[in-house]
């Protein structure tokens, strides 16, 4: 049985911003009834170009409803450029985490928002179509969608890809193709990445502190939480979560899927983040 956070349950039983908008500025629709999940998102801008109103209609599970509701709360009041920076991981963190098997619901929300923004910027002409070759015919997932999910979420296995995109979750016939995409994506990224200069201990600590201040602490504080760097021993980073993050049921998700991921992205891929023993 999946362990849903109280926030997921709240947004499922009491979803925000459900419905439609008369004469919306942008409309995005992703998924299909045949695949089991479908989301229609629409928004209206104010005079300053910020999202004044946003509504959604979804057909799917409780996680799909909760993720759609959370997304609408996250983007309300933001400019389109600001809204477009929101990732599926931001949606999951806002909900206190989602089961890995339900992360595709957060990805669907991000895709619907992107489709709605494209629709607005094209003057109502653009409708997001499937980009690239369809890999998973059971759920209509394309090569491009898989590659994007792999890069944005650091996916490494076929099971990861299924959790985040549903690809491979049907007959399983596309598993070999997904494995090829995984291998090709990481080989390409590794070849194009410039080698990182080996940091001294002092440089590593300073870079970790700078990354926490710039990339991590603002996100945690926006949700009433906080973080302190406790110790650095080689590639082991010990942190203490503060505020609402302290003792949160989703603390493990926050540490591994957000804090560790950010430090690996900006400091070193070898870092392992652990929470201070209470």
- Position 180 confidence tier, pLDDT thresholds 50, 70, 90: very high
Instruction: Please give the Cα distance from 189 to 198 (Å, whole number).
Output: 19
Question: From the CA atom positions of the chain, what is the Rg in Å?
Answer: 19
Give the per-residue pLDDT at 41.
95
Both 46 and 108 in one domain: the answer is yes
Residue 72 burial class via C-beta count within 10 angstroms: exposed 0-12, middle 13-18, buried 19 and up: buried
- Domain end (from 167, 192, 217): 192
Q: What is the mean pLDDT of residues 2-29?
A: 92
The CATH number of the domain holding residue 158 is: 1.10.10.1100
73 within domain boundaries? yes
Tell me the residue range of the domain where 164 lies.
134-192
3-state SS, residue 161: helix
126 within domain boundaries? no
Residues of the chain with pLDDT > 70, as a percent, come to 91
Both 186 and 208 in one domain: the answer is no
Both 143 and 217 in one domain: the answer is no
Considering only residues 196 and 115, tell me which one the structure prediction assigns the higher pLDDT.
Answer: 115
Instruction: Please give the Cα distance from 77 to 71 (Å, whole number).
Output: 12
| Annotated catalytic residue within 105, 174, 245, 248 | 105
- Position 79 confidence tier, pLDDT thresholds 50, 70, 90: very high
The CATH number of the domain holding residue 41 is: 3.90.1010.10
Residue 105 annotated among the catalytic residues of the structure: yes
Q: What is the mean pLDDT of residues 61-67?
A: 92
The number of domains in the chain is 3
- Domain end (from 192, 218, 240): 192
pLDDT at 125 over 80: no
| Least confidently predicted of 13-22, 109-118, 193-202, 248-257 | 193-202
Buried b or exposed e, range 147-166, using 16+ CB within 10 angstroms: bbbbeebebeebebbbbbbb
Both 55 and 159 in one domain: the answer is no
127 within domain boundaries? no
59 within domain boundaries? yes
| Least confidently predicted of 29-43, 59-73, 124-138, 213-227 | 124-138
Structure tokens at 209: 């502190």
Residue 215 burial class via C-beta count within 10 angstroms: exposed 0-12, middle 13-18, buried 19 and up: middle
103 within domain boundaries? yes
Using CA of residue 222, residue 212, residue 273, residue 265, what is the dihedral sign? positive
Both 62 and 82 in one domain: the answer is yes
Average pLDDT score over the chain: 87
Residue 35 annotated among the catalytic residues of the structure: yes
207 within domain boundaries? yes
pTM of the full structure: 0.67
Both 11 and 112 in one domain: the answer is yes
109 within domain boundaries? yes
pLDDT at 8 over 90: yes
- Domain end (from 62, 90, 121): 121
User: Do the beta carbons of residue 276 and residue 238 sit within 8 Å?
Assistant: yes
Both 183 and 214 in one domain: the answer is no
Q: What is the mean pLDDT of residues 109-117?
A: 92
The CATH number of the domain holding residue 257 is: 3.30.300.130
């Amino acid at each position: 049985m999946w362990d849903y956070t109280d926030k997921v349950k709240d947004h499922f039983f009491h979803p925000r911003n459900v419905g439609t908008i008369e004469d919306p500025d942008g409309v995005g629709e992703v998924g299909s009834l045949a695949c089991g999940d479908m989301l229609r998102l629409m928004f209206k801008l104010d005079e300053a170009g910020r999202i004044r109103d946003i509504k959604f209609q979804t057909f799917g599970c409780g996680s799909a409803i909760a993720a759609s509701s959370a997304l609408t709360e996250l983007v309300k009041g933001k400019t389109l450029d600001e809204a477009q920076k929101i990732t599926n991981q931001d949606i999951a963190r806002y909900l206190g985490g989602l089961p890995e098997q339900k992360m595709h619901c957060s990805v669907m929300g991000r895709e619907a928002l992107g489709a709605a923004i494209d629709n607005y910027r094209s003057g109502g002409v653009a409708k997001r179509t499937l980009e690239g070759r369809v890999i998973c015919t059971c759920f209509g997932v394309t090569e491009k969608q898989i590659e994007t999910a792999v890069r944005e979420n650091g996916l490494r296995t076929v099971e990861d890809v299924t959790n985040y995109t549903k690809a491979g979750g049907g007959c399983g016939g596309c598993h070999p193709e997904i494995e090829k995409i995984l291998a090709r994506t990481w080989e390409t990224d590794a070849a194009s990445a410039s080698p990182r200069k080996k940091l001294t201990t002092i440089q590593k600590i300073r870079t970790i502190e700078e990354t926490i201040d710039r990339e991590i602490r603002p996100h945690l504080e926006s949700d009433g939480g906080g973080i302190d760097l406790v110790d650095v021993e080689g590639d082991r980073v010990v942190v203490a979560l503060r505020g609402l993050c302290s003792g949160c049921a989703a603390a493990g998700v926050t540490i591994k899927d957000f804090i560790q991921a950010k430090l690996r992205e900006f400091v070193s891929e070898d870092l392992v983040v652990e929470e201070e023993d209470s």
